[in-house]
Amino acid sequence: MKNALDTHVRAIIETIRSDSLRKVWSELLSSGLEYYDKYLKYGKMKGWTRIVPIYGEPVL
């Protein structure tokens, strides 16, 4: 566990220092969000998403 924590901290520090690693991480994040967006749209089209009820403010 100690080694894993140390490895992750070193990776974060290296990402902060390196522009190329930050660019790769940014591209991976962007593509992941695009896939999630497509997945969510497909789920809505198929009716697989739950519809959350919208509550109005109470009328007194």
Q: Is residue 36 part of a domain?
A: no
Model's pTM, two decimal places? 0.56
Q: Is residue 50 part of a domain?
A: no
Type of residue numbered 27: E
Q: Is residue 46 part of a domain?
A: no
Q: Is residue 39 part of a domain?
A: no
Contact between residue 15 and residue 25 where contact means Cβ atoms under 8 Å apart = yes
Contact between residue 5 and residue 13 where contact means Cβ atoms under 8 Å apart = no
Q: Is residue 54 part of a domain?
A: no
Q: How far apart are CA 34 and CA 42, in angstroms?
A: 12
Give, in degrees to the nearest 5, the angle at Cα 40 between 57 and 27. Answer: 115
Q: Is residue 56 part of a domain?
A: no
Q: How far apart are CA 17 and CA 38, in angstroms?
A: 33
**pLDDT surpasses 90 at 24:** no
Total domains present in the chain:
1
What residues make up the domain containing 22? 1-30
The SS3 of residue 22 is helix
| Each residue's pLDDT tens digit, 33-59 | 899 999 999 999 999 888 777 887 776
Q: Is residue 7 part of a domain?
A: yes
